[in-house]
């Protein structure tokens, strides 16, 4: 991709069960992934989340992430 000038670290899925939130679990997982990516020589660290997940947006912003892109998707029809 033209916008990528090196290795990119990416969180593909990160979820903490409702009853387990606000205990630092997500923060710990995020920080460990960030440090692994940094040690691997990544030049950027990314995460995508659904636009309706406002709590996730607040979490990632608290972790120092910046909102910078729109992502567009289109699903293929399921053939039966």
8 A C-beta contact, residue 9 and residue 37: yes
pLDDT tens-digit readout, 29-78: 999 999 999 999 999 999 999 989 999 999 999 999 999 888 888 888 98
In this prediction, residue 3 carries a pLDDT of 60
Under 8 Å between Cβ of 21 and 29: no
Question: Any idea which fold 1-80 has?
Answer: Aminopeptidase (3.40.630)
Q: CB neighbours of 34 closer than 8 A, spacing ≥ 6?
A: 9, 45, 63
Domain definitions of the chain by residue range: 1-80
Dist CA 73 CA 64 (whole Å): 26
Model pLDDT for residues 36-47, shown as the tens digit of each residue: 999 999 999 999
- Cα separation, 11 vs 5, in Å, equals 18
């Amino acid at each position: 991709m033209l916008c990528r000038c090196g290795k990119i670290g990416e969180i593909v899925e990160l979820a903490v069960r409702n009853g387990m939130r606000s205990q630092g679990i997500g923060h710990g997982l995020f920080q460990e992934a960030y440090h692994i990516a940094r040690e691997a020589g990544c030049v950027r660290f990314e995460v995508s989340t659904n636009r309706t997940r406002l709590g996730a947006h607040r979490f990632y912003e608290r972790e120092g992430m910046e909102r910078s892109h729109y992502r567009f998707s289109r699903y293929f029809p399921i053939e039966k």
